[in-house]
Structure 1
Amino acid sequence: MSDLAAKGGVVAAAKKALFLVFHIGTERYALKATEVAEVLPRRPLKPIAHTPAWVAGIFAHRGVMVPVIDLSALTFGSPAQARTSTRLVLVNYRPEPWVDARWLGLILEQATDTLRCDPADFQPYGLDNRQAPYLGPVREDEQGLMQWIGVGDLLTAQVRTLLFSDDLTPQEAR
């Protein structure tokens, strides 16, 4: 193999990113692996009163209270099915650059596969879905469409305040 071909292979590999693939019903979605802190089995959660139905609860992990949302319930209004492949995925939630990343738990169905691809393969799908800003671009392959989920856009400001009240700026705390 020539040096030029070897360098080309390194550049092509550098453009690719790893994604965690999961399902909501029959539809495929992806999270960028750099946003995933840990993939855990489902576990019992303590419910949180007066939160939206898609806020599944909280649990203690390594001395930290972690809020958990059910992405299926958030997206389509139906809770994730309890399957052996349903996971509790800890993501590094960082809604704003000045806010330190915090763990946020996501209940995800069939979260057992990964995909390595060029992030540029995901393309805008032409809709302005302001009710679900976390639904990012889509990628087409032999299995159909897959949509990228934007972790930083998962929570509205109101829900973020409920779940992460200590992240408030001085102006928001008033």
Structure 2
Amino acid sequence: MSELAAKRGAVPAAKKALFLVFHIGSERYALRATEVAEVLPRLPLKPIAHAPVWVAGIFAHRGALVPVIDLSALAFGTPAQARTSTRLVLVHYQPQPWVEARRLGLILEQATDTLRCGLEEFQAYGLDNREAPYLGPVREDAEGLMQWIGVNDLLTDDVRALLFSSELSL
């Protein structure tokens, strides 16, 4: 049998997805790379008055104002540590399919690694954490558990209205 015929008859390998891996404290988390627009160094931000403490501020990026949240402060009430590996990650935020995707900045600690794995490797962890709907399924490996963060579930309606006021009319 020729090499081409052997390839045609082979079972296709499971599709692998790419994830950006980061930490909150000592715990590992992941964002799907297709949701990541750009990874920047941590930048100075303008604070937003009367915003929740986990809203880190806004900054101007390529002619647009981008709101930024501190994921560590959102999840556990403790701001991200200022490390050389702490990054400002711009993601495509689209909470509803009929709303145009917007840029949202996330302050993430140790956001320097990637992982390629099958989506099916992440499994539901059995808790219904309604206070944190962005916490998705978990994956276990030799380093322990890693949790998938759902970008589109990060903001409550009130905070989304504060950060993206132009969407109110939709």
The normalised TM-score by structure 2 is 0.95
Shift of 1:10: 8.2
Note the 1:155-166 alignment, pairs <5 A.
155-166=155-166
**Percentage identity across aligned positions?**
78
Change (3 A) 1:74 1:11: same
Alignment correspondent of 2:12:
11
The aligned counterpart of 1:33 is 33
Question: Could you say what secondary structure the match of 1:133 adopts?
Answer: coil
For the residue of structure 1 that corresponds to 2:123, the secondary structure is: coil
d(CA) in 2 for partners of 1:8, 1:71: 46
Equivalent residues in 2 for 1:92-171 (5 A)? 92-170=92-170
3-state secondary structure, aligned to 1:23: strand
Q: 1:3 Cα deviation (Å)?
A: 4.2
Amino acid at match of 2:90: L
Q: From the superposition, tell whether residues 158 and 115 of structure 1 become closer, same or farther in structure 2 (CA, over 3 Å).
A: same
CA-CA distance at 1:4 after TM superposition:
6.3
Distance in 1 (alpha carbons) for counterparts of 2:60 and 2:159? 19
TM normalised by structure 1 equals 0.92
- The structure whose residues are more often helix, as a share, is 1
Offset, 1:12: 1.7
Give CA deviations for 1:141-174 in whole Å, capped at 9, x if unaligned.
010000000000000000000000101235xxxx
2: CA distance, partners of 1:106 / 1:9: 41
Secondary structure of 1:116's counterpart equals strand
State the Cα RMSD in Å. Answer: 1.7
- Structure 2: runs of 5+ lacking an equivalent: none
- How far is the alpha carbon of 1:16 from its aligned partner? 0.5
Match of 1:82 in 2: 82
Which residue in 1 is equivalent to 2:55? 55
2:44 aligned with 1:44, yes or no? Answer: yes
